[in-house]
A and B are shown apart, each in its own frame.
Chain A
Amino acid sequence: MKVFTELFIVAFYTVFVQNLVLSSGLGISEAIRVSAKPGTFGRIAVMISGFSVVTGTLCGLIDMIPAVSGVSFAVRGLIYGGVLAAVFALVAVIAKFLFGTSDKFLSTLGIAALNTLVFAVPHINNHAAYSLAGCVGSGIGAGAAFVLAALLINKGSQLLKENEDIPEVFKGTPAMLFYVAMISLAFAGFSDTNIFG
């Protein structure tokens, strides 16, 4: 029961309190790009959650090895990157040669696996000293945070497209950046951040 409670709390914290995409800016480029394709949200969110959970848990296990716990950030980055690349390669090879998936699907898999959000999860787990349950919760939360961000950005981009009052020079990318900034500000409020201090 304690394990599930920790898992749930970490996942909830990762999605709503410290939304990794909107509060920390991790994977924000991918979220904006994916938001233009609502049909792929669910698939990519599941992939991101899967890769975050597996990579985060494996890296959490590796961090428990005494020889690894004290290494520099550079070596840690190399270890985490190696784990992520190995997990992606394994999944891609299985998908390609056992299930015969298309190259397009594998490209989507690559976008979901190899982005700053997934790569940052093991670093965050290490920094926050999460247990294995926390690592799993953090991974699930990362995927959910991504899909929440992509959904909010998608809805906003539709409203921005329909809004004729936006001055011509702010249409497109500038308006999108202002909109994402406003959502990010809202999430800063959830984490009780003082912006005038």
Chain B
Amino acid sequence: MNKTPSFKDVFLKNAVIFNPVLIQLAGLCPVVAASSSLKSAVILSAVAFAELIAVSVIASALLKKLSRWIRVPLYFVIGLVLICPALWYVETQTLAVLTMSIKIFIPLIAINSVVAVHCEQFAVKNDVKTAFLSSAAAGMGASVVFVATGALREIIGSSSIGGILLNLPLSFKGMTLPFGCLILLGFMSAALKTFIGKKHPEYSAVHSSVAAKPGDELNEKENVSEKEPEEIPLPAEEEIQYSVPEEYARIRTEEEIEEFFKSLGLDFDEKGDEK
């Protein structure tokens, strides 16, 4: 019987345990290339959050029956159709001043892998309500990473926050470059792994691999049983249907097997071929 998961479970799994950016390594492009300041990070996270929810709900409601190779391009087209008019409105109808990188990267968010990964892993496998909740949770998880990264990069790289100068004694311009962001993400990922290891140790083994995804915890269990086979369980006594005498029903050793064949009038060599 299917049990509807609670929001807490959905949030925990989508935002924390399988965080789209820090664990699944999806959507790295916008965070690495465009979130070098708090303002740009907030704009990008807001756009990505809204797009993820909208596309996930549409995917769950309408795209489930289509083949994967048709669905994935449709996520891109839907995202583009939603985002570009919004960007046009902001560009032409409001007084908001957007930087060049934001103008270029907002359309690129339409194609970011967070949407495709989340829709394929959750949205098309669940009902609309669950898809909405899971995408909201994943969006929150990604947005927190976007904003935290943007704020830290601006503080360390430009000695300012939200455009306000902090007059710090040291600044490291490299933090505004992609490699600085990747180092920050590495530390944040390690911190999240530590948190998961302490609070949810059942998932810690899954996260030793790169870009872990939901379902890996099941494979992990299967792999363990394949790699380290324990004693093969025998069927229950009452389930065994033998066509041999009962005294040989539970033979185990080679000697017992040989004795069994001899009793049937057969004689086998070591390779198992009949002599």
Contacts and interface: CB of A to CB of B under 8 A. Distances in A.
A177 B185 contact: yes
Contacts, number: 187
Interface residues of B, number: 61
Given A107-B69, A194-B173, A173 B33 contact: no
B185 A73 contact: no
Nearest to A157: B210
Contacts of A170: 186, 190
Interface string A103-116: 10011011101111
Contacts of B106: 73-74, 77
Given A29-B26, A81-B76, A184-B179, A72 B88 contact: yes
B88 A29 contact: no
Given A29-B25, A30-B113, A184-B182, A75 B210 contact: no
Interface stretch (B57-65, B79-87, B233-241, B251-259): B79-87
Interface residues of A, number: 63
A180 B86 CA distance: 34
The interface residues of chain A, by DSSP majority, are classed as: helix
A69 to B, nearest CB: 16
Contacts of A119: 107-108, 111
B197 A172 contact: no
A4 interface: no
A169 to B, nearest CB: 5
Contacts of A114: 72-73, 76, 111, 116
Given A174-B189, A178-B183, A181-B183, 16 more contacts: A25-B178, A30-B113, A74-B88, A92-B69, A92-B73, A103-B68, A106-B67, A114-B116, A116-B113, A172-B212, A173-B189, A177-B182, A177-B189, A184-B179, A188-B179, A196-B173
24 contacts: A25-B181, A26-B33, A32-B28, A73-B87, A73-B104, A74-B91, A75-B84, A76-B107, A92-B73, A103-B67, A103-B69, A110-B69, A111-B72, A114-B73, A114-B116, A116-B30, A116-B108, A123-B104, A168-B208, A172-B207, A176-B210, A178-B182, A181-B178, A195-B174
